[in-house]
C-alpha cells in the first residue's frame, strides 16, 4: 500500500554529526612557532566527554500509552514479531508501522500495489483536523484510496458472451458485488443515478434542452441486462469450459467471491457517525467503465469535482478496542480479508483483456 499515516507517521532520518578531536601534540615546524609556543601554558589533559553512546533523537507523543498498549497486544497475539523491535530502533510507533507493513505484505500487498492506490491509517479519530475523537482506548484502522483504480470491461464482457449469454452479467455482478462488500466501486449504476439527478435539476430550467445529459444507457452493453447465474451454477459452468482463458477468468472470479465472504466489513457505529456527521459518500476505490472515454467516465469526472468539498466517509473503518484482545485480533483478521479481497481483484483484472495500462508504476520501477 502507498502509505501509513497519522499515528504511524515517521519523521526523517536523524543525521549524527561526528566531531573529530586532535589527540596528542604536533611537532612544531619552525623556531618562531616553537618560541611562541613556550609562552602558552601546557595542555592540562582535559577533553570533552564523548557523546557517541547517547541518543541523538528524542520524541514525545501524547498517544504513546495507546500505541504501546496496541504493540503489546500485537506481540501477545503473534501479529507483531520481536525482531522488528530492534529494526524500529525500540520506538513503539515505528514498531507498529513495521508490523502493519509486514501484515499487508503477508496478505497480498504486492498485488494490491499493482492496481490500487490506497492508504492505511491508524488513528484515534476519523477526521484529521477534528477535535472529536473516538471512545477512550479505541483506535481505528482506516482504509481509503488516494485515487481510483480503473478497469475496462467491454473486452472481457464480449469474450464471455461468446461462451454463454448469461456470463457477462454474471461475471460483472459477482465481481462488483465482491468488491463492494469492502470498498466502493463506481460503475454504470452510479452513473445512472447521476443522470437521474441531472434530469431533476434541469427539469424546471428554461431551455432545458440545451443541457447535455450523458448517455449512460447507450454505452451499457445489453448483455448486462441478461439473467445472472448464482455461484453454484457458475461453478458447474466452469467445469464445462475448455478455453483456458475463460476458465482462468471464471476461476479467478470464484476465488474473489470466496475470499470476500470470509469476514464482514465492520458496521458503522454511533460514535463513527458522530465524528462523520457531515461527511460525503466514500470515495471510489475502483472505476469500472466500458471504454476509456464513455459516459460512465464522464459522470465520474463530474462527481470528482465536488467529492472533496466535504470530508468523505472512509471505505473501511476497523475499530480496535485496546481493553479487549479479541477485538484487536478480530480487527486484524478483518484487515487481512480486506487486503486479500483487493489482491484477488487485482489478479483478476490482470487476466481481463484490455487492462494492460492500468498497472501502477512505483518509484524505481520501469
pLDDT confidence tier of residue 35, bands split at 50, 70 and 90: very low
- For residue 50, what pLDDT is reported? 53
The yes-or-no verdict on residue 10 having pLDDT over 70 is: no
pLDDT digits (tens, 9 = 90+) for 155-186: 999 999 999 999 999 999 999 999 999 999 99
Nearest to 339 by CA among 178, 180, 107: 107
Nearest to 353 by CA among 163, 215, 153: 153
Q: Is 4 helix (H, G, I), strand (E, B) or coil?
A: strand
pLDDT digits (tens, 9 = 90+) for 233-265: 999 999 999 999 999 999 999 999 999 999 999
Spans of all domains in the chain: 107-358
Q: Please state, rounded to an integer, the average pLDDT across all residues of the chain.
A: 84
Please list the helix, strand and coil fractions of the chain in percent, rounded to the nearest 5, in that order: 45, 10, 45
The yes-or-no verdict on residue 343 having pLDDT over 90 is: yes
Number of H-type helices and E-type strands within the chain = 14, 7
Nearest to 279 by CA among 317, 318, 320: 317
Could you give the CA distance from residue 28 to residue 40 in angstroms, rounded to a whole number? 13
Contacts of 348 (CB under 8 A, 6+ apart): 175, 249, 252, 253, 255, 256
Q: Name the more confident of 1 and 179.
A: 179
The predicted model gives 66-87 an average pLDDT of: 94
- For residue 354, what pLDDT is reported? 96
Among 25-39, 59-73, 198-212, 270-284, the range scoring the smallest mean pLDDT is: 25-39
Q: Name the more confident of 278 and 47.
A: 278
Amino acid at each position: 500500500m502507498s502509505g501509513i499515516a497519522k499515528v504511524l507517521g515517521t519523521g526523517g532520518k536523524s543525521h549524527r554529526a561526528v566531531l573529530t578531536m586532535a589527540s596528542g601534540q604536533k611537532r612544531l615546524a619552525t623556531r618562531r612557532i616553537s618560541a611562541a609556543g613556550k609562552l602558552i601554558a601546557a595542555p592540562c589533559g582535559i577533553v570533552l566527554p564523548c557523546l557517541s553512546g547517547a541518543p541523538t533523537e528524542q520524541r514525545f507523543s501524547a498517544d504513546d500509552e495507546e500505541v504501546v498498549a496496541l504493540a503489546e497486544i500485537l506481540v501477545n497475539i503473534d501479529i507483531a514479531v520481536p525482531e522488528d523491535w530492534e529494526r524500529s530502533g525500540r520506538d513503539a510507533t515505528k514498531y507498529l508501522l513495521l508490523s502493519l507493513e509486514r501484515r499487508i505484505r503477508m496478505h497480498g500487498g504486492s498485488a494490491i500495489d499493482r492496481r490500487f492506490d490506497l492508504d492505511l491509517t491508524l488513528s484515534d479519530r476519523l477526521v484529521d483536523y477534528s477535535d472529536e475523537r473516538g471512545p477512550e482506548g479505541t483506535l481505528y484502522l482506516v482504509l481509503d484510496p488516494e485515487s481510483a483504480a480503473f478497469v475496462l470491461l467491454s473486452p472481457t464482457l464480449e469474450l464471455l458472451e461468446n461462451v454463454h449469454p448469461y456470463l457477462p452479467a454474471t461475471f460483472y455482478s459477482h465481481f462488483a458485488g465482491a468488491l463492494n462488500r469492502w470498498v466502493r466501486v463506481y460503475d454504470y449504476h452510479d452513473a445512472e443515478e447521476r443522470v437521474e439527478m441531472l434530469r431533476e435539476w434541469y427539469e424546471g430550467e428554461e431551455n432545458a434542452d440545451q443541457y447535455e445529459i450523458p448517455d449512460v444507457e447507450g454505452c451499457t452493453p445489453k448483455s448486462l441486462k441478461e439473467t445472472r447465474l448464482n455461484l453454484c451454477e457458475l461453478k458447474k459452468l466452469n467445469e464445462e469450459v475448455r478455453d483456458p482463458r475463460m476458465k482462468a477468468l471464471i476461476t479467478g472470479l470464484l476465488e474473489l467471491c470466496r475470499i470476500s465472504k470470509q469476514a464482514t466489513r465492520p458496521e458503522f457505529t454511533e460514535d463513527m457517525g458522530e465524528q462523520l456527521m457531515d461527511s460525503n459518500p466514500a470515495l471510489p476505490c475502483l472505476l469500472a467503465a466500458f471504454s476509456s472515454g464513455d459516459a460512465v467516465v464522464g459522470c465520474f469526472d463530474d462527481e470528482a469535482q465536488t467529492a472533496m468539498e466535504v470530508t468523505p466517509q472512509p471505505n473501511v473503518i476497523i475499530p480496535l478496542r485496546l481493553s479487549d484482545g479479541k477485538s484487536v485480533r478480530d480487527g486484524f483478521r478483518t484487515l487481512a480479508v480486506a487486503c486479500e479481497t483487493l489482491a484477488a481483484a487485482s489478479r483478476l483484472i490482470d487476466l481481463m483483456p484490455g487492462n494492460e495500462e492500468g498497472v501502477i508504476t512505483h518509484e524505481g520501477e520501469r
